[in-house]
Structure 1
């Protein structure tokens, strides 16, 4: 049985690890908050008390961490993945980080005889639970092919997009499109509401035409119900757009609309909305339009 170490059992990582157990892999989980491993153990996985313990005997290592510094510490740091993993282990980083971090991890892994892929995911918590994530993979194509059994246990759309760092670049583009689309859906809903239109009916017909998109289908019902429980937090999308803007600047690319949406997300976060789902951009549009003032009740800004 293939042994998979899974590092990072958060909102996305936990269901991804559960699906690996369901697919028949021997999964050893590690999380900085140990209690998060309880659910994995209950589903048939195992628990490790350190990164080194988790990866020592693993054939495959999957990391699902919040940001570039976390990946650098866990993978490259003392007692980390590369220091403890065995020769020829396969490292799959499913985190969303800067493309340069993906390249740096791949180079450091190669120097230690470890195969590495950057494989960020899209689809939110629902996609992780359903095993229906979209996974964009950067790295050597032969290594990608060897990773497919593991990736197929977590996702339904799995595409090799280029060399090391390419997966992270595609994920950055994904986050740019999602943020812009959520903003436009929010603006459309506020506009329709102001004109007295039946919002449910409007969403149904829009979803069936050229304006139809996954954001409209998946996010609009909760937006209409004013349910902003986080599937993907504003805090995380704020971080991701920082990656997008930095990578675009390095490439000499102008992102006028993306820069504006990044500012709106930063503003929403500064007003206390960081823990809400990113569809809470609707609240920002309502506030700017003078139609509702729910932003005033969100609480103190994040530390």
Structure 2
């Protein structure tokens, strides 16, 4: 603690993590950061953050450690590796994994943290690069409610819609609900924009008419304009969306739940990855549909 505020550690400074960490820094917290590619943290260090060379260095100096990495395997490595968080964190520390990951892994982190006298939350987010930059992410949280309340002031620097969902793993399950809804919606948004163009309409004018009606959605308002402009830079990577859909499909299968729309969306995004578009934004699905 410093000046009554916990020292925050942040691991994972990619498209979203960098903006999230920056908002914490702007909120007046001391920040310690690590990322596999050091240059991605240069802007934060220039703003006053302290760099450490591995997750262990972050863990030893932080009261609350936030992770925002790419894949469940990355989460496993930074939490349970020799230079990982769990082996090096201080007693009574709090770990918050904001990566979209497996609910079972969130429960594992919770249990292993508990053995060390440490608290754990799983808190995946939605809102893409725009939401991260503007500090208006939706944050879905699993873990002990009393720990959620302790971290809430930090969450409020990154998001606006912040909801405690229940026990460990509940945040990740909620994120799977979010991704299933997006998967189906993205197909509809891309087909809509392709239809508008091929029918000779002005896509921007079509968007003006439909985005505030029953067809309205975050993807329509935020990603359709990018499709119209031919902007397929990542706010959220295709490859990460495929990872999320794989998790959702696996969890649904475990619950004997059939998800045909999710399966179709996954097959389309698999085709995009085969075409070498895994590092594009999810809105690149428009190109596949429009032909």
The normalised TM-score by structure 1 is 0.93
Q: Which residue of 1 aligns with 2:16?
A: 12
Q: Which residue of 2 aligns with 1:145?
A: 149
> Which stretch shifts more, 27-36 or 80-89?
27-36
Describe how 1:20-169 pairs up with structure 2 within 5 A: 20-169=24-173
Q: Which residue of 1 aligns with 2:285?
A: 281
CA displacement at 1:226 relative to structure 2: 1.1
Q: Which residue of 2 aligns with 1:184?
A: 188
Q: Which residue of 2 aligns with 1:297?
A: none
1-structure distance, mates of 2:46, 2:145: 35
CA displacement at 1:225 relative to structure 2: 0.9
Q: 1:196 aligns with which of 196, 200, 205?
A: 200
- Choose between structure 1 and 2 for higher RCO, CA contacts under 8 A separated by at least 6 residues: 2
User: Could you list the runs of 5+ residues in structure 2 that have no partner in the other structure?
Assistant: none
1-structure distance, mates of 2:203, 2:58: 49
1:210 aligns with 2:203: no
Runs of 4+ with >2 A deviation: none
2-structure distance, mates of 1:79, 1:275: 28
> Which stretch shifts more, 82-91 or 29-38?
29-38
| SS of corresponding position for 1:273 | coil
CA displacement at 1:164 relative to structure 2: 0.4
The normalised TM-score by structure 2 is 0.96
2-structure distance, mates of 1:191, 1:58: 51
1:25-68: CA deviations, max 9, x gaps? 10000111122221111111111112111110211000111111
1:180-238: CA deviations, max 9, x gaps? 11110111111222222221111111112111111111011111111111111111111
Q: Which residue of 1 aligns with 2:174?
A: 170
User: Could you list the runs of 5+ residues in structure 1 that have no partner in the other structure?
Assistant: 288-303
Q: What number of residue pairs does the alignment pair up?
A: 287
| SS of corresponding position for 2:15 | coil
Q: 2:265 aligns with which of 261, 268, 276?
A: 261
| SS of corresponding position for 1:272 | coil
| SS of corresponding position for 2:275 | helix
